[in-house]
Amino acid sequence: MGDLRKINTLRNQIFIGFMLVMIIVLAAVGFFTYGQVSVMLRQNAEKHIQQTAVQATGKLDVLLRQMDTFTIQVASNATVQRLMTQEAEGKPISFAERQSIQREVRKQEAYMTGIRSVELYANDFRMLMPFTEVSLDNRVPVSWIYLADEQEGRLVWFGMDSRYPNSIVAIRQVRLIDRSYEKAGYVLVLIDKNYFELTDTDGNAVSNTREMMGLFDASNQAINSDFSKEVDVERMLKQGEQTVTLDGEKYKAIEKRSDTTGWSIIILTPLAYAAEGLSVLRTVILVSVLVGSLLFLIFTFILSTMITRPILNLIKAMRNAKLGTLKPIQITSSTMEINELNNTYNQMVDSLNELIEVVYHKELIQSRTELKALQAQINPHFLFNTLEAMNWALEDKGEEELSQVVIAMSGLFRYVISRADEDEWVTVGDELEHAERYLKIMDMRMLSRLSWSIEAQEGSKSVPIPKLLVQPLVENAISHGVEQRVGTGVVTVSVAPSSRPGFTRIAVSDNGPGMTEEKLLALYASLDRGHDPSSSKGTGVGLSNVAKRLKLYYEKIDGPSLDIRSEPGKGTTVAFEIPNEHGEGILR
């Protein structure tokens, strides 16, 4: 018990109390920062993955359109049209005419890359170019020819075929323009697989994230793939798998399907990429917390020693006086409160010896009171200094948005934490500034879901009002309006002269789901009973508290002091009116 009393000193209490507050603040800020930044990093990673998939799909569409344009140019070439018309009329074209077709096709082919072979066939499947006697039904399955006929002149992509390794097959009908687009033959194109390379040749597109990309035809054969191992694409697509394990590492799978060909682009991104940077962030936060705690440990120890050392000297002198040694104390402290204690003690020494015990107790009580007052001043002052230090650190790092939020938090706390001797009356302008700081903090938390505005005439800002009447209504609008709807919510605070002379109307509106008439009547009934169901959602003071304070500060009237208007799907507006002069009035 004696050892416990030795430890339970004022210096230790100040030291431990301040350290606990600092650790809690640093831990809370670190946890909040880590959570917000980690979410932002994951969202950026997902956006990058989606952007890569869109870029790959766009590049594939460009390649397909280029090949489609090339086959259209071949099929619609004047020489090809003329000679194919001749064939359709039953007049076989000569060898020289076939050579002229080949020259025309080669001219078109000179502007294209990735083409292995271009072949031209007549209606009866005879090969017209190149000069071999192979029929179309021997080159490709008959079912492919039927599909080309069904498309009536559109290019049909058939993907991979075992007879043509490393080649992609595409067929289009040749239709005669001058004969009402009559069918005249077929154009068959064999395209090199490397033509469909969707990543940069140097691999820069995926080197930073270790992404792997593969292009697969309608039968799930790999057209182009840089997967480190073979992946069961068919099973993955059927089961809709989101993750794939390769070489012991997990990847997130994203599939994009081409509407033109039915081919699939599959991108595998390491799951570790989404968490990349979180370990560094975690280390920075931990180091910051440790360094901040260490510095605060040193400063708190010095501060507690400076506060308690003069008190310990005074206690020592008082103990000697209790034993009968009545000697004045030499004044060495520069602290006003401590000097006052020393002066009082010296006056007590000059007084009658029979009053020593009474004066001793009086001084002891006074010293404790002064210390409590000093500690009450230090706690909020420390909080504001800590927030200011955070603001400077964020500004140095270029975190302007977080810096503004810290400034808003500091202003919010300064406004709410007030001394007992401060006036509870402020101006409407002060209340609107407090509400604006709260909205800025909520805007940071809700990202793009919150939109707000504050509208007030300059003449209305000087009207006196009890403190903390507007912000609870704003909090209620966000909790029960903005957070209950899908998409962006809007909160509007408006201050304007009332229709009644000498009064100002303050209204807070949201575009939330609103309330039915039955629910609105139930809310009025709850406010009359002094119970506010809306306050149970969070830690805010709620509508009931605002209504009670309005009736306490102003003249009590029959009926509600809050004017609540709401319609389902059209949001809610909560308003009240106050007199322009300080004092009691009638509210509506």
Question: Read out DSSP for 482-525?
Answer: GGGSSS-EEEEEEEEE-SSTTEEEEEEEE-S----HHHHHHHHH
Partner residues linked to 225 by β-bridges: 214
Domains of the chain are 2-42+278-392 (no CATH), 76-193 (3.30.450.20), 197-274 (3.30.450), 447-579 (3.30.565.10)
pLDDT at 103 over 80: yes
Q: Find out whether 539 and 545 touch, Cβ atoms under 8 Å.
A: no
Q: Find out whether 153 and 172 touch, Cβ atoms under 8 Å.
A: yes
Q: Find out whether 309 and 334 touch, Cβ atoms under 8 Å.
A: no
Phi, psi of 174 (to 5 degrees): -100, 120
Q: Is 269 helix (H, G, I), strand (E, B) or coil?
A: strand
Structure tokens at 381: 């002052």
Give the count of beta carbons closer than 10 Å to the beta carbon of residue 2: 5
HEC assignment per residue over 10-71? HHHHHHHHHHHHHHHHHHHHHHHHHHHHHHHHHHHHHHHHHHHHHHHHHHHHHHHHHHHHHH
Could you tell me the pLDDT band of residue 168, with boundaries at 50, 70 and 90?
confident
- What is the average per-residue pLDDT within 67-92? 85
Give the count of beta carbons closer than 10 Å to the beta carbon of residue 434: 22
Does the bond joining 501 to the residue before it have cis omega, within 30 degrees of 0? no
Instruction: Provide Rg for the chain, Cα atoms.
Output: 41
Long-range (24+ apart) CB contacts under 8 A made by 103-106 are 104/74, 104/77, 104/79, 104/80, 105/74, 105/77, 105/80, 105/129
Q: What is the pLDDT of residues 551-562, one digit of tens each?
A: 877 765 444 578
CA distances from 403 to 25, 319, 399, 410, 448 (A): 16, 52, 6, 11, 18
pLDDT at 438 over 80: yes
Could you tell me the pLDDT band of residue 536, with boundaries at 50, 70 and 90?
very low
User: Is pLDDT larger for residue 275 or for residue 114?
Assistant: 114
- What is the average per-residue pLDDT within 5-19? 69
Average pLDDT, the chain: 75
Rounded Cα–Cα distance for residues 132 and 124 (Å): 15
Which of 59-73, 203-217, 281-295 shows the lowest mean pLDDT across its residues?
A: 203-217
